[in-house]
Amino acid sequence: MWTYNPREDIEFEKEMLFTNVDAFRAVLKDYTIQKGFPLVRLKNENSRCTAKCGAEGCNWRIHASPIANTTIFMVKTYTPEHTCVMDRKNSEATSDWIAKKLISVMRDHPEMTSNGVKAEMQKHEVLPSRMQIYRAKKKALEALEGSHSEAYEKLPKYAELLRINNPGSIMKIHYDRPNLLVEPKFLRLFISFKAQRDGFLAGCRPFIRFDGCHLKCAFGGILLTAVALDGNNSLFPLAFAVVKCENKEAWS
């Protein structure tokens, strides 16, 4: 059975085995990008996969299908010789494919820059566009950390955990829900930890300043903050809120 080894190039052989059709397709895609040639899928079904090189005059071709009464895929026929020229801008190297390759790297380096992505892709002989890099980074981070939508859905659970584990803290979430048949829509959020209020009363000047800034994320909004000055003339956060826009209703 074929197993992935990132340190070795992929090489197909006749009678090579794969756990299922999806595993074969994934390896075929990686191989196509590794070798840098256009792939034409003649058959791409669960019962058979046949592909050839899309370059004119190139004889490379592969066919695989499952072993009888199993899901194990076997390479039945294979013509390995390529006569075409490698192309680093391979159309198979989509943002989804790049994102999958980035996940393991970005798990340890979530702040990876675009140049870092380029350097990582050079290991695969791929030259992605700026838009591909942007989309791939976004997809990789969502796979690791979840999407903004998923984060908003977890706010009620976070509020409950805060109430249990941090007594005295305040967290209020406002939703727009005209009736029970409509899914609740997030409107605004307020959080003030008990330690913040205790710190203000114990060592801050009795003056509070308010400020706000725009949030650069999928849903936008405004981050409002209340701060004071501590004994070292440094800003001391008291509370913060996330609202749709900065108006009288939001500040109240």
3-class secondary structure for the chain? Answer: CCCCCCCCCCCCCCCCEECCHHHHHHHHHHHHHHHCCCEEEEEEECCEEEEEECCCCCCCEEEEEECCCCCCEEEEEEECCCCCCCCCCCCCCCHHHHHHHHHHHHCCCCCCCHHHHHHHHHCCCCCCCHHHHHHHHHHHHHHHHCCHHHHHHCHHHHHHHHHHHCCCCEEEEEEECCCCCCCCEEEEEEEECHHHHHHHHHHECCCCEEEEEECCCCCCCEEEEEEEEECCCCEEEEEEEEECCCCHHHHC
Our CA dihedral for 91, 31, 112, 147, rounded to 10 degrees, sits at 70
pLDDT computed for residue 180 by the predictor: 82
Q: What are the phi and psi torsion angles at 230 (to 5°)?
A: -90, -170
| Sign of the CA dihedral running 216, 95, 100, 44 | positive
- Model pLDDT, residue 178: 85
| Euclidean distance between CA atoms 19 and 2, whole angstroms | 8
* pLDDT at residue 248 in the model: 66
Identify the pLDDT of residue 252. 61
* Nearest-angstrom CA–CA distance, 127 and 122: 7
pLDDT tens-digit series, residues 37-48: 899 999 999 999
- Counting as low any pLDDT under 50, the low residues of the chain are none
> What's the confidence (pLDDT) of residue 131?
94
How does pLDDT run across 3-27, given as a tens digit for each residue?
777 678 889 999 999 999 999 999 9
What's the pTM?
0.60
Length of the chain: 252
Tell me the residue type at 137.
Answer: K
pLDDT at 36: 87
